[in-house]
Structure formats: structure tokens, C-alpha cells
Structure 1
Amino acid sequence: MARRPTVRDVADAAGVSVATVSRALSGARAVKPEHRELVMRTATELGYRPHSVARALRRARTGVVGMVVPRIDNPFFPQVVSGVERALQVHDLALFLCSSDDDPDTESRRLDLLAERQVDGILVVPCTQTASAPALDATRASIPLVQVDQRATGVAAPFVGIDDAAGIAAVIGHLIATGRRRLAFVGADPENWSGGRRVAGFREWAHDNDPRAAARVALGDFSRESGRAAAHDLLSRDPEIDALVCANDLIALGALDAATELGRKVPIELAIAGFDDISVATACRPTLTTVRQPVADIVATSVATLLALIDGDDASAKETLLPVELIVRGSA
């Protein structure tokens, strides 16, 4: 056909009514199986494709899910995004991805943009615990929203993440069991949910087991350069430190850089452990001991929770914390 085929064309070719075609294409149950098969076969033969805008108006849906992440240069988030996109494809949904660049104002504008595009729902990794809350709370009042991996406090939206404190405890337990005695922590801004939970886990251990370790904490951001600078400062001020607990793998890679600069042999003189288990954790030398986040489970649970919200299942108070796994490699 020279023009784009319509529902009427499909109906005429199949010998059924336009209403039957519409119901068959929309998945309505009130269609005989043989009629549904006929309509689908005819639509395929004619090359018919539903008009997305008209379909969205009829269903009050766009078939698009929005997602906001803090950064795309942290290898952990592209891993999550890739998994989300694959999971959505199973449900014939598209992904509209935005980055907040770790800035609450940018995050707020990105959420407004997604609302203007009338996405069916939003997955968001909040960049801060408090400053992100107003925009998330305003958005979730009108659009289904799920917080992923990190959360903003006081926002009545589902959260899918991990037990950060348990991950830090596993690292510390391993380091102590292997003979390390003077531990230090290299982390990120505690206003970030993960950053705050991970440094709190270290400080809780220090309070109960080594009060002086509370002073061996350096905070920056989740980047490799920040990790290098903070670790360099800690090790220069206290050469007796024999283990660094790092809030993520990028920080740990920076700590490895600092150890090399200072001539500290890893793991003989200094143990270094990260968090997340990003792909480069096995590419560095020595390979990185780290805490593995269950990315596949985080993705599956987040998408399932959002789809349930879109379908009207009120899960506003739901919190899902998934277990982590300590991965022991060459650095500790």
C-alpha cells in the first residue's frame, strides 16, 4: 500500500469489524482466540503499526518510563540502566534516561521534564537524602515513582536498595580476620544515601571496637581522583594504617593509585577494599576485593514495583533491601 495502513484496512482485509480489530490489538479479553489470531496475522501482512500518540490518548499511557541517575560516568549506573532497559523491553516499554549530574536542582528539572513528557512512571536514583526530597515528593504525587539504590528521606515512594551497613560490616570482618588492625575509611558525602550509610557502618564499628578509628575517616565524592587524594592524605598522616575501607570501587581504585605513589605494597603492607563490584574491579592489579551489589535483582525488583504502581497497586510504603556479597580478590 502506498499510504500507511489503518485499522479500517486491517478490518476490511480480515473481514471483521473495526471494533474487533481494536479490541484484538489492545489485548482485550472479549475477543475470540481465532479472531485475535486472524487480526494479528493480517496486521503483520499489511505492515500495520498502531499510532503511538492515538494509542497513548486512548489508554492514558505513553509506553515510556523515565529514569534519572546521578551520573553516567560511574560504571555502576550504566550497568543498572542497561538492565532496566532490557527489563522494560519485555513489557514493550521504552526508557527515557536523564542524568542529574549529582545536582538536586538539575534533578528537579529532569523530573519536571519527564512529567511534561507524560511518562508512565519514573525510576530515580536520588542524588541527596534531603535536598532531593521536595522534587521527588512533588513528582510522585502525580506519577508512579520508585527510588532505586539510593533514597531521599521522607518521600512516600517505594525504595529498592541494599543493606549498605551489612556490606561494610562484611568488609571489616574480612579485614580483621586476615590480621589487619589499623583500619581507615575513605568515603563520600554522607548527604548521599549510600555514602551516609557506609560511613555510618564504619563509625559504628569504630565506636564498638576501635574508637580511635573514628578519626581515620576521609570524605570526598565517589570519584577515583577523590579517592586518590583522600587516601594519600590519610596514609601520609598515619603510615601505620594497614587497611582502607572504601565507599565504592572508584574510590578504591584511587586508593590503589595513592598506595603506588607512596610506595605501599598492596596487599602485603596495605589492604584495600571497595564496594559495588564494577567491571574494572577485575581489570586492575591487584584485582579488587569488594562488595557485590545484586544488580539483576535490584533491576528486576525496581521494574516490577514500578509496573505494579502504574497498574494501580499502592505500594507507597514498600521498602525492599536486598543482600550483598563480599567478593575476595587480590587487594585484601
Structure 2
Amino acid sequence: MNRRPTILDVAREAGVSKSTVSLVVQGSPAPRAETRARVEAAMARLGYVRNRAAAQLRGADTGLIGLVINDLRNPFFTEFAASLQGALAGAGYAAVIANTDEDPDEQDRVTAAMLEHGVAALVLCPTHDTRPETAARLDRAGIPAMQVLRRMDRDGAALPFASFDYRAGGEAATRHLIGTGARRIVFAGGLEGRQITRERMGGYDAAMRGAGLGTRSIPGRPSRALGRAIALRLAAETPRADAALCFSDLVALGMLSGFAEAGITVGRDIRIVGFDDIEEASLCHPRLSSVRCDIGGFGRDVAATLLRWLSDGLRPPDETRTPVTLIPRASSTGR
């Protein structure tokens, strides 16, 4: 090597992350003994000498972790961000949080800014239509980087992915509705062609076809407004649908409002199940049945995964799925 070896060269040589090398260089007790020995051996082989002046200017050594979220207005993502941030703070790291509002241009700007300011790691819940360059930029950065809750539509394979078992949740919810006697079950909401829509709707399709029933979906960007519009549309039809599995609780809450407006009693005239089990699901009237995704626990698990990656170089599996649980309430049981 003709140039002066860098911390990235040491990381590649030792098979660990850049942040792990930084911790070893700083004398942090976080890395395991065997990890520390591997890094120190790589430093010796390469002849690495720490540039203390540069180290004082780098943000990566300050314990900053970037968190880029597609929609912080959605309570589901807000709770995830809060739980992750809290767990990181407990370990001495500060989270730098950005909201992209489903804008790929904004996502590129904030991820680039976080990397320029030297975050030690980055967690991304990607926008729809994320560009291939986004994943490539994160991969080149040489820091722990994960995509969560959503997978990039394309070219995101280089980043580990963690989410929930949405397909199993959709199947359990649909079987529950069938068990109540429902036969004309609609899948409400979700953008067509998106992976997360395919996953949640895939379980619905499997359960419906397994019961010999036909499927029907009414797509759209998930929101209360969409749910209300779907409810008013269904209320005007004959024969009317007798149940709905909603892409999200926000869609389901909108449907509760729309059916109330149309004079249709949810839980008796039509049964509804939401997805995510946000706090409002247990507080509305009628209380909303929902597929519970333990988003608080998920945030803490992602934090623990990142911390292991940072301290010990333990890269997570390419894909991790967390189980979900159906929570039946009055909107589908009628009780």
C-alpha cells in the first residue's frame, strides 16, 4: 500500500465496521476482547497510525446515529423512532432524526448530509421509489446501515432488512373474519405494486382462496380520508361487503367514521380489522380489531442489533422478520 492506511483499510482487513475500529482506537471497553485483538492485529499488519487531529473533527467518533423515516406523521413510525432513540440514548448514542415525507429527493439530501457529518451508523425506512444510488451510497460509506419496516423497491440487497411478518398477519386477520361468518371481505388501502402492500395483501389472498372465496381490493395511499371514502363507497353498494381488512389502522379508523356517517353499525352490519395496532385502535369506538406489530419492541431490537454491529462487528442477517399477533376487538367480534 503506497498511501497512508486509513481506518477503512483497517476495517476491511479485520472484517469489522469502521465504527468498531474507531472504538478500539479510542480505547473503548465496548468491543469484545477477540474483536479488539483482531483489529489491533490488522492495524499492526497495515502499519496504521491514528491521525488524532482528524479524529477530533470526525462526527463518527461522537456517537451519532442517523435515523431517516419516510413519514413521521404516522403514529406507527413515530413510535418506532421514539423507541429506537430511547434505546440508543441508554447506550450513550444520540439519534439524528429526519423525516422525508415520502420524497426520494429529500431522502437523498438527508442521508448525504448525515454521512457528511460522520454518523457512526444509519437506519433507513425508505420512501417509495428509492433510487439505486441511495443504497450504493450507504454501502460505500463503510458504516453499519439497515433498512427497516420497508424494503427498497430495487437494488437494496446490500443492506440488511428487518421488518414484521406482514403476510402471516394478513392471513390470520382474514381467517378471523371468515370465522365470524364474513364472506364478502374487501382488502382496503395500500398502493398497488408496493412490496409492503403485496405482503399484507398476500396473506389475505391466501386465506380467501383457501376458503374458496373471491378477493377484492380497493387500493390507495393509506390515510383516514381514504378509509372514509372507501366506507361511503361500500355503504352505497348492493350487496354490501360484510367485512374489510385494512392496510393500516389509519385506513380502518377512517372507515369507522365513514360507516358511522352512513348509518352502518361496525361490528354488526360490517366487520373491520386494521393493521399495526396503534394506540388509538384500543381507544376508539367501537374498539378496533388489529394486527399488532410490537413497534416499541421492534425499535429496541433494531437498536440492540446496531449496537452489536458497532461494538463487535456482528452484521445482522440479510432479512429478519418479527412475529405479529391478531388482537380481536368489537369492530370485528361485535362484542
Give TM class, smaller chain. Answer: 0.7 to 0.9
Give distance in 2, aligned partners of 1:54 and 1:116. 14
What is aligned with 1:170? 172
For 2:276, what is the secondary structure of its paired residue? coil
Are the aligned partners of 1:127 and 1:192 in contact in 2 as well (CA < 8 Å)? no
Unmatched 5+ residue regions in structure 1? 1-22, 30-52
Q: Shift in Å at residue 195 of structure 1? A: 2.4
Matched, 1:329 2:329: yes
What is aligned with 1:34? none
* Identity of matched residues, %: 33
> Relative to 1, partners in 2 of residues 1:103 and 1:200: Cα closer, same or farther, differing over 3 Å?
farther
Instruction: Trace 1:34-113 onto structure 2 (pairs within 5 A).
Output: 56-57=56-57, 61-113=61-113
Task: Judge which range, 242-251 or 194-203, deviates more.
Answer: 194-203
- Poorly superposed stretches of 4+, deviation over 4 Å: 25-29, 53-60
Q: Shift in Å at residue 107 of structure 1? A: 1.4
Q: Shift in Å at residue 140 of structure 1? A: 2.8
Unmatched 5+ residue regions in structure 2? 1-23, 31-52
What is aligned with 1:201? 203
Amino acid at match of 2:101: D
Q: Shift in Å at residue 113 of structure 1? A: 1.6
Are the aligned partners of 1:189 and 1:196 in contact in 2 as well (CA < 8 Å)? no
Work out the number of aligned pairs and report it.
Answer: 283
> Relative to 1, partners in 2 of residues 1:263 and 1:133: Cα closer, same or farther, differing over 3 Å?
farther
> Relative to 1, partners in 2 of residues 1:70 and 1:309: Cα closer, same or farther, differing over 3 Å?
same
Amino acid at match of 2:67: M
Higher normalized contact order (CA 8 Å, seq sep 6+, divided by chain length): 2
> Relative to 1, partners in 2 of residues 1:62 and 1:190: Cα closer, same or farther, differing over 3 Å?
farther
Give distance in 1, aligned partners of 2:103 and 2:286. 34
Instruction: Trace 1:1-332 onto structure 2 (pairs within 5 A).
Output: 27=28, 56-57=56-57, 61-128=61-128, 130-142=129-141, 143-152=143-152, 153-155=154-156, 156-210=158-212, 212-213=214-215, 216-311=216-311, 313=313, 315=315, 317-332=317-332
Q: Shift in Å at residue 241 of structure 1? A: 0.7
Q: Return the index of the structure with the highest Cα Rg.
A: 1
Give distance in 2, aligned partners of 1:235 and 1:314. 53
Are the aligned partners of 2:173 and 2:273 in contact in 1 as well (CA < 8 Å)? yes
Are the aligned partners of 2:192 and 2:220 in contact in 1 as well (CA < 8 Å)? no
Amino acid at match of 1:131: T
Are the aligned partners of 1:186 and 1:244 in contact in 2 as well (CA < 8 Å)? yes
For 2:123, what is the secondary structure of its paired residue? strand
Give distance in 1, aligned partners of 2:257 and 2:131. 33
Q: Shift in Å at residue 211 of structure 1? A: 5.5
